[in-house]
Structure 1
Amino acid sequence: MSYIKVEDVSRHFVRADGTSFQALDHVNLEVRQGEFICLLGPSGCGKSTLLNILAGFEGTSEGDVYIDGQEVKKPSPKYVTIFQNYGLLPWRTVLKNVELGLEEQDVPRDEREKIARHYLEVVGLQDFADSHPAELSGGMQQRVAIARALAVDPEIIFMDEPFAALDALTRMKLQDEVSAICREQHKTIIFVTHDIDEAVVLADRIVVMTPNPGHIKTVIPVDLHGRRDRTSPDFWDIREKIFECFSLKPEDKTEYYI
């Protein structure tokens, strides 16, 4: 049974000069509960637009989106979105940033502190509870944002290129951590990326999108038998399939972005 259902969704925008631009063209997609889905494609393919529609931040021009049988019309407290810029409040400590969503849910003070400290431990930042965001590296700040998202126990986490601004080694570490955490927590994840290796590391299925206008070209299942080893033959086989989708030749590329 589908948990998220995208039915024939198109999205048009009107430019300042009055001309129309089609960001999405008749997109159809079904997602099962607990799946980790990566929306992969180059800039302009509509992947962030699709994420915003799923999260309820934007409407459709045509078609409908359903989550757990309910049509998506606006954002829901059952879902959270993590962006590139972390969204942390600089005047609040790490602990208080993680507590933010719990405050909005009117969780009692003692209980929300207990929950927040638990999720700081999950992301390995229990020793930085009293620090402020400016005292943390970019990777650590993103881990705080992930802890804050997990603390409210959302049904779905939407992520819009959350690691794009990080250095390569930090990005790889966070990819592994997020993959492990989200699978342990059994969350449904929709993750936007333009990084092919990142998609293979994270996803249960990769939704390959192409532009002009944005549509789904194919959906590639990622069966790595529970292992996310970047050096394994299975990893490289899936990676090569994606390169073929975009008519790229891996041997000619030193960077694996699209």
Structure 2
Amino acid sequence: MLKRLFRIAIPITQRSYLVQPQTKFLLDAKIVDFNAFRDEIDELKKNGPQHPFVLIGTYTGLRPSKEERNNLKRPPEDTPSKSKKAQLLRELRHWTEDHYPFDMVIFDEAHYMRNQATTTFHLGECLSTNARSVLCVSATPVNNTNIDLHSLLRLIDEEFFATQSVFDELIDVNRPTVQLGNALAQSIIDETAITQAVSEMAKSQYINKSPLFEKLLGRVDNHSEICYTSWQEVGSAKKTRSTRRSVG
């Protein structure tokens, strides 16, 4: 059960999110500025993990100045910040209590954190590091390159997505699997594309030893002709229905 939920959004949307927890989950949510947010964290440290809250804040309301960006990774006792925002974020990043400060942190419009050089990204790091779970919500996670996506994935699992090179390797390893999925999603299956994708998957040490891959090979070998015929029939049926709607 979620006892402490924090949702961070942009100012124009935060009031719309106030209604959702109340109507859908019967949770009493409230919008907080920095001072109210700090008060809730103080109450949590005072009363322990039984202290519940559902809070909605904004990036701009919690983000410290650019001058404090490089200090956010330092422990709070190591030369305390003059900025109250920065000091609180350092406490959250280096949380010492025996319970999570947040059961879940939700980042709406998460693409605002895609640039790792910005204070907004470092704000996200401080909030997510000791959260039990993290959810990033964005319609545009990739704006320019895969670096944008890697930045957001780091907030979800910093250890697994430690470096850009590791992430690029994961993309390369999974590329034939994605190509196979795209080929199978076509209305008329491209058997050549399937063969090429499966061949590349067979070369991968991360894929070729998987029982699921062995099962896939059996299906491709035994049922490719049936699948091809079935998808042809589906495509033909779609075309027929489309023609009837146009005539009607």
Say whether the fold is shared (TM-score over 0.5). no
**Bigger proportion of residues as strand:** 1
TM-score bucket of the superposed structures, by smaller chain: 0.3 to 0.5
How does the TM-score come out when normalised to structure 2? 0.34
